[in-house]
Chain A
C-alpha cells in the first residue's frame, strides 16, 4: 500500500459499513493473505490490488476505494472469490463499490464502463433483449471512436453474426419491471 504514513487520509466509517451491509460480505474477515491479488488476471492494470482494496474497505478509506481505477479494471472473473480462504466474495464487494460510485455520481476513472452499463440496461428496458449493433454503435459514438472495431463488425455482419434489427420482447412488461425496481430502491 502506497499511502502508509500519509497524514491526510480520509477515513469514513459509514462507507465501510455501507459496503459490508449492502454486499452482505463480511469484509472484516480479510487477513490480507494476498491470495486474491496473486491470482487476479487484471492486477497489472490496476492502481491497487484487490487485497489493498479490501483493506481500504476495512479502514473506510473511501477515496482510495472509490476513485482509483481498481474497481473498474475488475473483470468479474471470480478467481479471487473462488480462492479466498476466508470465503469472502471479493468480486461482489467490487460490484457493490461500483454500484455506490454510480449511484452517488462520483467522479472516477471509469473507462467507459459506466456508459456501457447504462446503454445496455436501457436497451434491455425497451427491447428485452440485447441489440449488439445499437450498443456498439452508441458506445463508439459517445466515446469518440466511431470507427473502432469497424472491420471486425463488417466481417461479422457478412457472416450473419449480427442482427440487423432488434428482437423486441414484451416492451411494456420490461419497462414495468424496471420501474418497479426503481420504486423499490427508493
Chain B
C-alpha cells in the first residue's frame, strides 16, 4: 500500500519520536509512506481563529502538493490537528466561492476527492488489526493502557465522518491485538487544552490533570495517544502539574505507534521512546520491554 504522508511541523520538533516510530511500524507492515514534497504548515491552531481564508488555503495547498506526488489519491497525517485541518478544508471547499478564492491563492487547481486519513485509520481500517497481530513478536503482556483520543481525531463527526465520536474504540482494538489490556475510563475524548499550551498554560494544567487522574483511577499503567499536542501536554506537563496541585503523577504516555513498535520487536531507543519527558526506562525494564 502506498500513501502520501504529511508529517506536519510537530513531528519535526516536539513530536519527533512519533515520526520515527510511525515510519518504523509502517515499513514493517508494508505501508509505503511518500512524504509530500515541500509541504507547508497546515495553519493548525491560529489560522482558523484569525484568518478563515488562509485556514482553508494552507491545507488545500498541501493537498495540491500531495496530488502532484506520485499521483496518489490518499493522504495520511499522524497529528490529530493536521488531520482535522485537512478534513475541515475539504468540507469548506465544497462552497463554490471559497473554492474560487482558495484556488486563486494557492495558484493551482484544488484536487477533488482526496481521501484524508489519520494514522490510526491507516493502521486499523486499511491494514487491519489481524494483520498487525500476525507480526507481533513481543506481546505487551497485559499492560494496562488507557487509550486517549482527545478532540480532533473524532470530532466533529460531520467533518471526520466518524460514527463513534463519543466513545471511539479503534485504538483499543489495536492495543488488544498487541497483547495489552485496555481500561474503561471517562476522559478518552476530553480536551487537554492543546491550543492553549503557550498562551494559557493554567488551563492546560487543569484539564490535563483531570485526564491523568481519571486514567490512573481507572487502573491504567500507561496512556496511549495519537497526537503530538496531546502528548506534549500529558507527557511534558506532569512535573508542573505535580508541583501546582500537589499530586504525584508519573505515568508514561506513549504514541500508539511506539507501543506497536515495541510489540513488533523494535528496540525502544530506535523508536525514540527515550525522548519522552516523563521517564520510561525503568517502566519498560520492569516489564521486560527493553
Contacts and interface: CB of A to CB of B under 8 A. Distances in A.
Interface string B12-56: 111110000000000000000000001111011111111111100
A146 B105 CA distance: 36
A181 B57 contact: yes
B106 to A, nearest CB: 7
Contacts, number: 159
6 contacts: A41-B191, A75-B203, A82-B157, A136-B198, A177-B54, A181-B53
A99 B193 CA distance: 20
A130 B46 CA distance: 11
B9 interface: yes
A20 to B, nearest CB: 14
A29 interface: no
B193 A75 contact: yes
Interface in A108-134: 111-114, 116-118, 120-121, 124, 128-130, 132
Contacts of A163: 12-13
A170 interface: yes
Greatest chain A CB density within 10 A among B104, B107, B155, B199 is at B199
Interface of A is mostly: helix
B222 to A, nearest CB: 19
Nearest to A124: B41
A85 interface: no
Contacts of B45: 76, 116, 120
B51 A181 contact: yes
Contact of A99 (B39, B49, B107, B236): B49
Contact of A170 (B38, B191, B195): B38
Given A75-B193, A155-B277, A180-B104, A99 B50 contact: yes
CB-based closest 7 A-B pairs: A130-B9, A77-B191, A78-B155, A117-B46, A117-B50, A120-B46, A77-B151
Interface string B36-80: 001111011111111111100110010000000000000000000
